[in-house]
């Protein structure tokens, strides 16, 4: 009760700090000004020092916005060390006419629960503020050692993704809280235990030197767009399930959305069915997905009556958290290269790929997290996965291979991250601060127990559902 009261007393100040941070358009994408990114960096350095962090450093990597690194030493030699991760950069706002209020003017939301609307306020500035709230709850002296990593170019990607394994001593820890995710729905405490991997592949077809009159040549001249469409149609079966051999798929036994929730979140129009078979968790998290994310072909508005000589598509593959990234991409590439629609060969070019991740859930950090989330929300934590990827998780895990990795935070699936009118609920922020504060207390108490040690977090996937 004392910890809960302490957090409640902090909320007004944390809200004010969140508003200050969310008002800064810290977009680390090419073509956007760099000054707001530096401004957000400097504000967080100021707030961390004010929260009692004695060591705050700046890490500069090539072509990368500065990374904030901080340390609080363990209170005793036996105490564990927890690494806290977040990022202060945000997505561009997109079409501002779709926003109910200016994206960088934090505005109270008009809803049953109180909160704020702004770009980046959920992803990921509320989570950064939650870390800050935990530190303030302990007056800058938590019962564990702390390492803080807040990067400034997560949304665009940077050299930092691969940096931690090159400097393992800096990132050494017993557990890490990656706060770049949140709850399945508001009020449902959630631990994300797996991330699908991601890969891109480009497939293209060239059949003619240039367009030819469809009346004179159509019917015999090979249409590149028809060839491409026939190839793309082989990627899924009649149910909409991925039909590429060798892509891993398993049942999902964790928590998932209801179909109504998913239809609402995805904006599926009335009367349009969902694709694929099996549970939603299986389709979204423990099975593959292939999406055509780009198509080069003549536009409808200015289309000529001509056989198309060239067409190209970009595919995004999401694959099982435990499947090797190169193997998954190779399976898709092999499938496409084996095709000769109408006798025409395809040109297939592999692109970027990133591994998935699955956390072990059997150690003291997960025990502490489950207790802490229940204390904060009043119910047992749900276990979910996500189809999104967080490349840095693998880098941090390689730098600290014995550490347990926890993924939770103040976002929720209905917060509109990366979309217009992104928002965070104060109830979720408050409970996340309380959960983080309770976690370090519980973890410090449990760390010296009989199950602690370097292999404590290396057990089976436990309740993850994968």
Cα–Cα distance, 445 to 440 (Å, whole number)? 8
For 89-115, b/e burial (b = at least 16 CB within 10 A) is bbbbbeeeeebebebbebbebeeeeeb
In angstroms, the CA 368 to CA 449 distance is 12
89 assigned to active site? yes
Q: Which of 17, 89, 123, 412 is catalytic?
A: 89
Task: DSSP letter for 238, please.
Answer: T
DSSP, residue by residue, 322-349: TS-HHHHHHHHHHHHHT--GGGPPPEEE
Using CB atoms within 10 Å of the CB of residue 261, give its burial: 0 to 12 exposed, 13 to 18 middle, 19+ buried: middle
Collapsed DSSP state (helix, strand, coil) of residue 248: coil
Q: CA 182 to CA 86: how far, in whole Å? A: 12
- Pairwise CA distance, residues 402 & 128, whole Å: 24
Instruction: Classify the phi-psi angles of 341: left when phi > 0, otherwise alpha if psi is within -120 to 50, otherwise beta.
Output: beta
Is 216 annotated as catalytic?
Answer: no
Q: CA 251 to CA 436: how far, in whole Å?
A: 31
As beta bridge partners, residue 306 has 213
**Given strand 115-117, what is the order of strands in its sheet?**
107-108, 115-117, 423-425
Alpha carbon distance, N-terminus to C-terminus of the chain? 36
Phi, psi of 375 (to 5 degrees): -65, -40
- Helix%, strand%, coil% for the chain, nearest 5: 35, 20, 45
Q: How far apart are CA 308 and CA 384, in angstroms?
A: 45
Residue 218 gets which letter from DSSP?
A: B
For residues 371 and 18, give the distance between their C-alpha atoms in angstroms, rounded to a whole number: 27
Q: State how far the alpha carbon of 3 is from the alpha carbons of 16, 139, 425, in Å.
A: 21, 12, 20
The Cα angle at residue 367 between residues 363 and 370, in degrees rounded to 5: 140
Instruction: Give bridge partners of residue 386 from the DSSP assignment.
Output: 195
Q: Which of 123, 124, 151, 154 is catalytic?
A: 154
Say if residues 16 and 119 touch (Cβ distance below 8 Å): no
Looking at the annotation, which residues are catalytic?
89, 154
């Amino acid at each position: 009760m004392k910890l809960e009261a302490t957090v409640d007393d902090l909320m007004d100040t944390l809200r004010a700090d969140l508003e200050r941070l969310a008002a800064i358009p810290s977009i680390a994408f090419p073509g956007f000004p760099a000054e707001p990114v530096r401004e957000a960096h400097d504000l967080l350095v100021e707030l961390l020092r004010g929260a009692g962090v004695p060591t705050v450093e700046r890490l500069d990597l090539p072509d990368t916005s500065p990374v904030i690194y901080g340390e609080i030493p363990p209170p005793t030699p036996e105490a564990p060390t927890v690494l806290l991760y977040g990022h202060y950069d945000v997505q561009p706002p997109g079409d501002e006419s779709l926003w109910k209020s200016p994206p960088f003017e934090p505005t109270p939301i008009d809803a049953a629960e109180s909160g704020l609307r702004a770009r980046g306020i959920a992803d990921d500035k509320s989570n950064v503020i939650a870390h800050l709230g935990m530190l303030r709850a302990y007056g800058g002296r938590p019962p564990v050692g702390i390492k803080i990593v807040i990067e400034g170019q997560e949304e665009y990607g940077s050299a930092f993704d691969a940096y931690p394994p090159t400097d393992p001593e800096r990132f050494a820890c017993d557990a890490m809280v990656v706060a770049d995710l949140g709850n399945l729905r508001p009020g449902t405490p959630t631990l994300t235990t797996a991330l699908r991997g991601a890969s891109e592949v480009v497939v293209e077809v060239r059949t003619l030197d240039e367009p030819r009159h469809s009346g004179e040549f159509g019917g015999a001249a090979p249409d590149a767009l028809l060839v491409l469409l026939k190839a793309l149609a082989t990627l899924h079966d009649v149910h909409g399930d991925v039909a590429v051999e060798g892509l891993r798929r398993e049942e999902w036994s964790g928590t998932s959305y209801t179909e109504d929730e998913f239809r609402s979140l995805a904006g599926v129009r009335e009367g349009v069915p969902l694709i694929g078979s099996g549970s939603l968790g299986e389709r979204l998290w423990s099975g593959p997905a292939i999406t055509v994310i780009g198509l080069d072909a003549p536009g409808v508005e200015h289309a000529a009556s001509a056989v198309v000589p060239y067409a190209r598509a970009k595919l995004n593959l999401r694959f099982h958290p435990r499947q090797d990234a190169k193997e998954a991409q190779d399976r898709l590439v092999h499938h496409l290269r084996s095709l000769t629609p109408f006798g025409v060969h395809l040109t297939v070019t592999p692109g970027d790929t990133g591994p998935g991740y699955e956390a072990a859930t059997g150690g003291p950090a997960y025990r502490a997290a489950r207790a802490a989330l229940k204390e904060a929300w009043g119910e047992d934590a749900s276990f979910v996965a996500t189809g999104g990827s967080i490349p840095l998780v693998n880098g941090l895990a390689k730098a600290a291979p014995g550490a347990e990795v926890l993924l939770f935070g103040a976002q929720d699936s209905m917060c509109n991250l990366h979309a217009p009118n992104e928002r965070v609920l104060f109830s979720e922020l408050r409970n996340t601060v309380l959960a983080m504060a309770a976690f370090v207390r519980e973890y410090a108490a449990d760390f010296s127990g009989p199950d602690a040690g370097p292999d404590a977090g290396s057990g089976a996937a436990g309740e993850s559902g994968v």
